[in-house]
Structure 1
Amino acid sequence: MIALIRYTFATVLHTQRYVAPLLLFMGLLGVLTVNGSGPLPPAYASSAGALFVCSTWLTVALMSLDEPAQRAIVVVASGGRSLKVLLAAIGTALLSCLVLMVFGLLFPLWTGRYDVTVGDLLLGVEAQLTCAFVGIAIGVLCSRLVFGRQGYAVVSAVALVTGALFAKGVPPVNRLFTLMATTPQAAKLLAPAGGMLAIAAVILAAFTAVAQFVATRRE
């Protein structure tokens, strides 16, 4: 697994497909959190939203690194287990999101004026992990493994991201953002945010299973 993750990292660095989602993340983070003040939960909701969009795009790029013929070679080299290759791509996306998460936690503190507590930081971690899980899940479901045509994949990804962000009260993303925007005390949000994180993990597992099932049927 480690070798596959290293291979995926090396390939994405070589092809530079990470550049566009990274620039999007930085741009959204800069626009949404610069010169903020007051309670931290709304600022961390903004940084989590930026990571959500970035993780979706980055995952789609990671899942599309290899052409079908090259992917078949990688699967054979990994012992014929296509699930292992899929999990390596997901692991690469998660590790990338963890790096971006650190920046998302610290950047608002650097550019704004906030009274920081441990609860704020824990809430920021929960929010960004939730958004990363859901973003990666959507990226996996809208990848080449499921959609043979890129146009259908793009439309589906945009629809799912838009729905997750703006469908009022729908967990985990919109519900979490609503709570963070209306409740300034981070300590009161840790338990609900933990629930949203658990839902996000279930969504990631379910979408991964669907993608693997479709890919296996095609192979």
Structure 2
Amino acid sequence: MIRYQLALLAHSQRYLPPLLAYVILLSVLYSDAGSEARPLFGVSAGALTVVACWLTIALVDAEDPVQRLITQVHAGRLSTVLSGIVAAVVVCCAALMVVPLVWAALVHSGFSTDVLVDGLIAHVACVAAGVAIGLPCSRLLLPRIGYTVLAALALLGVVLLAKWVPVVNPMLRALLNHGARSTVVLGLAGGVVLLAVSAAGTGWAIRRRG
């Protein structure tokens, strides 16, 4: 199922817009060797939240409802399809999160292992949050692209900008302002929980609607 979802995304070429936008952002962020790496990790991790959400929606919407039903029949269970979608996007984003970490290590030489670990944790947490937002905003639950865009923008705005949501915003603020690692780890826990709740809730909503 994971191989099928990756092949579907590659064939659709819907990954190109977020990939190009992300690479352009990284080329601007990590071009100055005099900048500190930790705040830059916060910016690139926040951007990866949007990319992960975009890839999730693009992957789901690459199949029309009839084709998706056929895929579910072959998979045997809806949970298998959802797991394949999540895993495929995570694989893609895992490759993307390596880029800023390696880029920073090459350009910003001398930063500590703790900074690198914080950056890795933040990127993983943001990937989880982005996929969690993308699942319910995709065609799985919202049949029209207009609703998808509005819902995705609203939820991304909440997790990225709202200080009271203990997922992305507090973690990114900790990276930007040299806060404690505990805040970064809390962001990872929040992202994982949000992804689990989103996948379970999306599956429940699909079964109830069906």
Normalising by the smaller structure, the TM-score range is: over 0.9
The runs of 5 or more residues in structure 2 that have no matched partner are: none
Deviation sequence 1:109-140 (CA, Å, 0-9, x none): 33x43422111111111000011000010011
How far has the Cα of 1:104 moved from its partner?
1.9
> Does residue 160 of structure 1 match 2:151?
no
How far has the Cα of 1:169 moved from its partner?
4.6
Deviation sequence 1:168-188 (CA, Å, 0-9, x none): 3532211011111111xxxx7
The answer (yes or no) to whether the contact 1:145–1:214 under 8 Å persists in 2 is: no
Counterpart residue identity of residue 108, structure 1 = A
Residue 177 of structure 2: aligned partner: 182
Residue 211 of structure 1: aligned partner: 202
Deviation sequence 1:77-100 (CA, Å, 0-9, x none): 112x01110110000011111111
The runs of 5 or more residues in structure 1 that have no matched partner are: none
Deviates more, 1:67-76 or 1:34-43: 34-43
> Does residue 138 of structure 1 match 2:133?
yes
How far has the Cα of 1:36 moved from its partner?
4.6
Q: TM-score, normalised by structure 1?
A: 0.90
RMSD value, Cα: 1.5
Residue 13 of structure 2: aligned partner: 16
Deviation sequence 1:17-57 (CA, Å, 0-9, x none): 11111112112222333215343210111111121111110
- How many residues were matched structurally? 210
Indicate the percent of aligned positions where both proteins have the same amino acid.
36
The runs of 4+ residues in structure 1 deviating greater than 6 Å are none
SS of aligned partner of 1:176: helix
Residue 106 of structure 1: aligned partner: 102
Q: TM-score, normalised by structure 2?
A: 0.94
How far has the Cα of 1:165 moved from its partner?
1.5
The answer (yes or no) to whether the contact 1:45–1:181 under 8 Å persists in 2 is: yes
Q: How does 1:63-102 map to 2 (within 5 A)?
A: 63-79=60-76, 81-102=77-98
